[in-house]
């Protein structure tokens, strides 16, 4: 189904279904389309909420992990959300971790996939090459095991984003903030059950990163998906959703 975006105050978000809240956090170049398979599967039994993170619009002085955590706290307060299951991909996983560490009473379970927070090799770490379509296409394809998943629509969207100097400045600021914000010393304090779903062929946050998260987060379970890179929910939605469903029902 096409995802309907709602607006309230300064927030744009998706809110589908009823039941326990499953809150989804997208990555640095993430889009709503990344989560369509998850929303379609889980909105039948859960309230699936996706806040659109203000990555490209937030004041440059606030462009970083702390600014995004504060934004999420304000959104959660506005919507009166509580006892959430939070799922984050890439930068979204990083935000989920810093939010949970600061607001442990708000979160009942965590699902991380290709999360930053320990190590990542990301396109946003240096100034993205503006105006070079072939370069952007190559970098987008690099995040998938099967380059065909990097559709022209997806590449066009990233290309348009990186062609904006203000957006690029924010991307770089947030990426550098994420790289500085290493959580190795903090995440042993995560007490909620945590599922780690990783692409076995992830080039951005490699398998060793998943193993390290698994070692550091006390109550965590690690599952790999073969022939899969940085966005399992896009590349292998059925396998990804089955692993998530098993975790949520136990």
152 has pLDDT over 70: yes
Asked if 25 contacts 93 with a C-beta cutoff of 8 angstroms, the reply is yes
CA distances from 68 to 78, 114, 119, 183, 194 (A): 15, 18, 19, 16, 21
Q: Which residues pair with 48 in a beta bridge?
A: 16, 22
pLDDT at residue number 126: 44
Q: What integer pLDDT is reported at residue 124 of this predicted model?
A: 41
Backbone angles phi, psi at 103, to 5 degrees: -130, 60
- Distance between terminal CA atoms of the chain? 27
Q: How does residue 125 score in pLDDT terms, banded at 50, 70 and 90?
A: very low
Residue 68's pLDDT is: 96
Reported pTM: 0.91
For the chain, give every domain's residue range: 6-122+184-249
Mean pLDDT of 22-48: 91
Q: What is the pLDDT of residues 4-22, one digit of tens each?
A: 999 999 999 999 999 999 9
- Length reported for the chain: 250
Tokens of 239: 């396998």
Task: In whole angstroms, give the CA distance from residue 150 to residue 46.
Answer: 29
The CATH fold of domain 6-122+184-249: Rossmann fold (3.40.50)
The tokens for 23 are 């809150």
Model confidence at 164, pLDDT cuts 50, 70, 90, reads confident
Rounded to the nearest 5°, which phi and psi values hold at 99?
-65, -45
Q: How confident is the model at residue 123 (pLDDT cuts 50, 70, 90)?
A: very low
186 dihedral zone (left: phi>0; alpha: psi -120 to 50; beta): alpha
| Contact (Cβ atoms closer than 8 angstroms) between residue 60 and residue 173 | yes
Starting at the earlier edge strand, list the strands of the sheet with 47-51.
6-8, 11-16, 47-51, 21-25, 84-89, 107-113, 194-199, 220-225
What is the C-alpha separation between 8 and 214, in angstroms, rounded?
37
Q: Encoding tokens for residue 53? A: 């993170």
């Amino acid at each position: 189904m096409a995802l309907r975006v709602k607006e309230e105050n300064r927030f744009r978000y998706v809110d589908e279904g009823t039941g326990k809240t499953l809150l989804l956090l997208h990555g640095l170049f993430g889009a709503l389309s990344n989560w369509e398979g998850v929303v379609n599967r889980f909105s039948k039994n859960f309230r699936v909420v996706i806040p659109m993170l203000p990555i490209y619009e937030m004041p440059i002085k606030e462009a970083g992990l702390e600014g995004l955590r504060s934004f999420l706290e304000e959104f959660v307060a506005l919507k009166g959300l509580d006892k959430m299951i939070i799922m984050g991909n890439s930068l979204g996983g990083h935000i989920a971790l810093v939010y949970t560490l600061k607001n442990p009473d708000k979160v009942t379970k965590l699902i991380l996939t290709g999360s930053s927070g320990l190590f990542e090799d990301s396109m946003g770490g240096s100034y993205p090459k503006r105006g070079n379509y072939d370069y952007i296409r190559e970098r987008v394809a690099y995040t998938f095991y099967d380059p065909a998943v990097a559709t022209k629509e997806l590449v066009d969207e990233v290309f348009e984003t990186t062609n904006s100097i203000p957006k690029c400045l924010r991307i770089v600021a947030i990426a550098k903030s994420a790289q500085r914000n290493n959580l190795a010393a903090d995440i042993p304090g995560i007490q909620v059950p945590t599922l780690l779903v990783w692409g076995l062929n992830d080039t951005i946050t490699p398998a060793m990163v998943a193993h390290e998260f698994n070692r550091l987060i006390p109550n965590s379970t690690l599952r790999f998906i073969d022939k899969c890179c940085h966005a399992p929910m896009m590349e292998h939605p059925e396998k990804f959703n089955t692993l998530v469903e098993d975790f949520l029902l136990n």
